[in-house]
Amino acid sequence: MSNKVKFVIDGKECQSDEGKYLVEAAKDNGVYIPTLCNYEGLKPKGSCRICTVKINGRLATACTSPVHEGMKIENYTAELNEVRKEIIELLFVSGNHFCPACEKSGNCELQALGYRYEMMAPRFPFAFPIREVDASYPRIIKEQNRCILCKRCMRGIKDEDGKSYFAYKNRGKDSLVVADRKLMSAMSPDKAKEAMEICPVGSILVREKGWDEPIGTRKYDNAPIGSEIENK
């Protein structure tokens, strides 16, 4: 699989290994393609569509598309950025995302994408869905108001037998991510921390933790998400 291929993103000549997912291949070349449901080391799912690019003129998710020789990719265009902004706005209105009251504020990927794509206010009406805070687990709190159903916790947080701590409950607009009670009762503090970190928003919180970083020093306070890739 170490065949090198050449491809072009927004006119920039890029090179990477054949078959590597586009998000990763772009990253190797200092090009940021925004992601939300994608997480390094996990099998991509392509559900949030924030990484939508145009490959040879057709829309595709960059996290699930392998690179091939001669691909022509559009990434940073007014059209695609508008689509991304729209997705972010839809996510904001479909949950209850009260940034000022959130433990993850400043370290939240959804919020950081809102900053990056200059969302001043969502264009859609707020749904204000009725959801609960599930504080029934010993190590973590599952804040359902903030869950964006990205499945990162379900795919990434597993025990030594490969069983997921988290799973979907209900369908459609009633979908919730809940945790297995038996596994959760044995969850280690390290695992809980990992779960909080894998959650892109503030939906998985380690108990008795939060607001421990002052405003101004948090991850996305001073530089936009993706700038670490672009300025490498």
Partner 1 sequence: MSKPVLATTSLAGCFGCHMSILDIDERILTLIELVEFNKSPINDIKTFTKQCDIGLIEGGCCNSENVHVLRDFRKHCNILVSLGECAIMGGLPAMRNGILIKECFHEAYLNGPSTTANTGHIIPNDPELPCLLDKVYPCQEIVRIDYYLPGCPPRADLIWETLVSLISGKPAELPYEVIKFD
The residues binding partner 1 (CB under 8 A) are 92, 96-102, 105-106, 111, 114-115, 118, 120-122, 125-126, 128-131, 215, 221-224
> At its nearest, how many Å lie between partner 1 and the CB of residue 125?
6
Reduced 3-state DSSP string for 59-84: EEECCCCECCCCCEEECCCHHHHHHH
Q: CB nearer to partner 1: give 19 or 129.
A: 129
Residue 221: Cβ within 10 Å count: 15
Cβ 49 to partner 1, closest distance in Å?
A: 22
- Residue 117 CB, shortest distance to partner 1, in Å, is 11
Minimum gap (Å) between residue 84 Cβ and partner 1: 17
Q: Measured from the CB of residue 138, what is the shortest distance to partner 1 in angstroms?
A: 25
The residue among 28 and 221 lying less far from partner 1, judged by its C-beta, is 221
Cα distance between residue 81 and residue 90, in whole Å: 14
173-177 contacts at long range (C-beta below 8 A, 24 or more positions apart): 173/129, 175/149, 176/131, 176/144, 176/147, 177/142, 177/144, 177/147, 177/149, 177/151, 177/153, 177/203
Contacts of 172 (CB under 8 A, 6+ apart): none
Cα separation, 31 vs 34, whole angstroms: 10
Is the Cβ of residue 126 or residue 168 nearer to partner 1 in the bound state? Answer: 126
* Residue 152 CB, nearest approach to partner 1 (Å): 21
Nearer to partner 1, 78 or 120 (CB): 120
Task: Supply the minimum distance, in Å, between the C-beta of residue 113 and partner 1.
Answer: 11
Residue 105 or 203 having the CB closest to partner 1 = 105
Q: Of 11 and 125, which has the nearer Cβ to partner 1?
A: 125
CA-closest candidate to residue 27, choices 200, 223, 228, 222: 228
Residues 35 and 87 sit within 8 Å (Cβ to Cβ): no
Which residue lies nearer to partner 1 by CB, 18 or 115? 115
How far apart (Å, rounded) are the C-alpha atoms in residues 25 and 40? 12
Residues 6 or more apart whose Cβ sits within 8 Å of residue 188: 139
DSSP at 31: -
